Structure 1
Amino acid sequence: MNRPGKVTQRDIARIAGVSQAAVSMVLNGGESAANRIPAETRERVFTAIRETGYVADPIARRMAAGRNQILGVFTYEPAFPSAQADFFAPFLLGIEEAAQELGYDLLLMTGSSGGQKKIFGENVRLRLADGCLVLGREFDRDELERLVAGDYPFVAIGRREDAGGPVPYCGGDYVSATTALVTRAIGMGHKKLAYIGPVAGAESSVDRWQGFRATLGGGAEMVARLDAVLPTPDDMLEAILGCGATLAVFTELSDAVKVRGLARARNFDVPRDFSIIVLGRHERAAETGTRFTTFRIPREEMGREAARMLVRRIEGDTAVEQVLLECERIEGETLAAVTG
């Protein structure tokens, strides 16, 4: 596959078997003009563009290095609604800081107006950027494999399993952070543990579960496990109290907040009656009113380092880098030693 900037519209026309005017109309004529081109013809043009890596940007072609100094940012989930904004904002802050430092602009890719968001779409805006940072709780595996197989520079934010080859990423070391936090609790006398959260699916869930399982044995046992997707706060609290757990380990702060509030309403005290730890502090707009014992996910640092990694790939065609950053422990007020 050719590098972006080495292919002309004439090449695209020849490969697609259409006129150069048709290629120009598809790329530059707007939606109404492009719609006058038959769908089959448009698809041949888009296929040729994807296969060659053509960049529909004359400024980029005029630059000596063949680059336009733009980093793309693609999120599988909406980045700005209130439910997600505080999750994504630190990543974006770190990305912006690194981009400014390195002399790059940012292009936020919003995708299509309806349906599931896709990196590879007919609008081919991906190629307007020199490379792309990809964020999301869960990735489309087919698209990830396509990125790995191609020559378009990208870096994932968050650890990702191989997808037909190693994936370049910068993530948080959730395995080590979880193991350290739970081990600390066990050292304070907690031997009966309840785990509330998913154990499969996204790599972040798998990593937390792996870190938790590494602490079991030597007297510590898991006496309850609930997937936080289905149970209600009542179900979670009843499971914790019913199994005699002295420590409840939550993967999601929102679930811990609900259970602690319900426990307080029923005259149970945290951490006197049972302790709570949360496997990663998720930024929220609403104040929880409680300082949970947890660890800080270095989101801003992840965004910053991922952007630097991407620029290294763009400018030096470096080997695949896979980086995990340390998560800092936050003591909080919801973990106490077992008494009696």
Structure 2
Amino acid sequence: MSTSRRLTQLDIAKLAGVSQATVSLVLNGAENALARIPQDTRERVQKIIRETGYVPDPIARRMAKGSNRILGVFTYEPAFPSAQADFFLPFLFGIEEEAQARGYDLLLLTGAGQGAQRKIFAEESRLRIADGCIVLGRSFDRAELQRLVAGDYPFVAIGRREDAGAPVPYVGADYATATGQLVQQARALGHSRLAYLGPTETAESTVDRWRGFHAALGDGVQLALHLADTAGSDDALLDAVLQSQASAVFCVELADAVRLETAAHARGLRFPEHLSVMALGSHIRSEGSRTRFASFLIPREEMGRQATAMLVRRVEGASSPGDAVPQALLPCEPIAGDTLGPAPC
């Protein structure tokens, strides 16, 4: 028999001289069904399966049994490049740990070929191999999110997501509260002129940080500088901060806090004696810096675990159609750090 195409149960049945139904019963392995098949027949079918290397079609098994016990993981950005490794890997650790505990395998979905923009529906048949999917990314494709919400395919987003025609199931981090707490700490230390470095509208996570920052300003506190675009040299970034006379700087990206530190060190300026600098969550590794910035810990592993548990409940039908779409925001643990101190006199 030609092996240029995928073997089917019918092929195995012909080689073993049995019906396709018999092959299906042997593969599914239910004891009450196997009891009806003579032992020598079972052994003959199993021998053909071993010799041919036959692997059941996962989509066919899904149709027959209702589940593959496989969860998909889709990321809109590459999950493993070194520049972003510290961002994605903790999520994946939590997902893997919870999936293993619940008896599920994981399937990493890349969505599109090399060089193409990633699309979760680029090849929908592959998506359907998994019983449901966890979706990660700093920014989601809005049209795809609407399609997921409108469909019947179980999914859970990691990170808060605005409604996409209907509520989106998600597990996120409470960036607004964590950012607001940092502002309150700065105010309590006498800082009244603040700088904010980073975007405010590119994704829900940045919107939440800005919302928490702005809500916590209060009377007597001024936003002395807001730079949505921090491109340019490290010296230019520090110059903009110093010219604004801000005494405390809030950086959306840890990388910008490290850039300020590099430029300040070259000029003999120290944190927090001359300037307080805070990072609104650790996004990337701070290579080249030993400074522990005042910040907050994003509970990435726990977000991965809870998103996986939420997805399993949806896959296994633990919720009813009338139930509210599950959404959870997890608290971020404050990091005192070494870069927030009293405002300079």
Supply the distance in 1 between the matched residues of 2:93 and 2:286 (Cα, whole angstroms).
16
Cα distance in structure 2, aligned partners of 1:81 and 1:288: 20
Once superposed, which parts of structure 1, at least 4 consecutive aligned residues long, lie more than 4 Å away? none
Quickly say closer, same or farther: Cα 1:304–1:287, change in 2 above 3 A.
Answer: farther
SS for the counterpart of 2:160 is: coil
Structure 1 position 307, deviation (Å) = 0.3
Q: 322, 338, 341: which one pairs with 1:336? A: 341
1:103-154 deviation digits (Å, cap 9, x = unpaired) = 1000000222231000002352110000000000000000000000001000
The within-5 A match list for 1:1-340 is: 57-63=59-65, 66-114=66-114, 115-122=116-123, 124-284=125-285, 286=287, 288-316=289-317, 318=319, 319=323, 320-340=325-345
Q: Match for 1:170: what amino acid?
A: V
Counterparts of 1:112 and 1:156, CA distance in 2: 19
Of the structure 1 ranges 196-205 and 287-296, higher mean CA displacement relative to structure 2 is found in: 287-296
| Partner SS for 2:135 | strand
Mapped to 2, the partners of 1:280 and 1:123 lie a distance apart of 35
Pair member with larger Rg: 2
CA distance in 2, matches of 1:103, 1:297: 27
- TM-score (normalised: structure 2): 0.80
Alignment partners' CA distance in 1, 2:232 and 2:207: 19
The residue type paired with residue 60 of structure 2 is P
Contact 2:192 2:222 in 1 (8 A): yes
**CA distance in 1 between partners of 2:137 and 2:100 (Å):** 23
Q: Output the CA distance in 2 between the equivalents of 1:127 and 1:143.
A: 15
Note the C-alpha offset of 1:56.
Answer: 6.0
**CA distance 1:285–1:265, shift in 2 (3 Å):** closer
Listed one character per residue, the Cα deviations across residues 262-321 of structure 1 (whole Å, up to 9, x for unaligned) are 111011111111100111022427352110000000000000000000001111252411
- 1:98–1:191: structure 2 CA closer, same or farther, 3 Å change rule? same
Q: Distance in 2 between matches of 1:165 and 1:153?
A: 14
Letter of the 1:193 partner, please give it. Answer: L
Percent identity, aligned pairs only, is: 56
Aligned to 2:28: none
Match of 2:331, as an amino acid? Answer: E
Of 276-285 and 219-228, the range deviating more from structure 2: 276-285
Does structure 1 retain, via aligned residues, the 8 Å contact 2:71–2:134?
yes
Check the 8 A contact 2:90/2:300 in 1, yes or no: yes
RMSD: 1.5
For structure 2, the residue ranges without an aligned partner over 5 or more in a row are 1-56
- Cα 1:143–1:229, aligned 2, differ >3 Å: closer, same or farther? farther
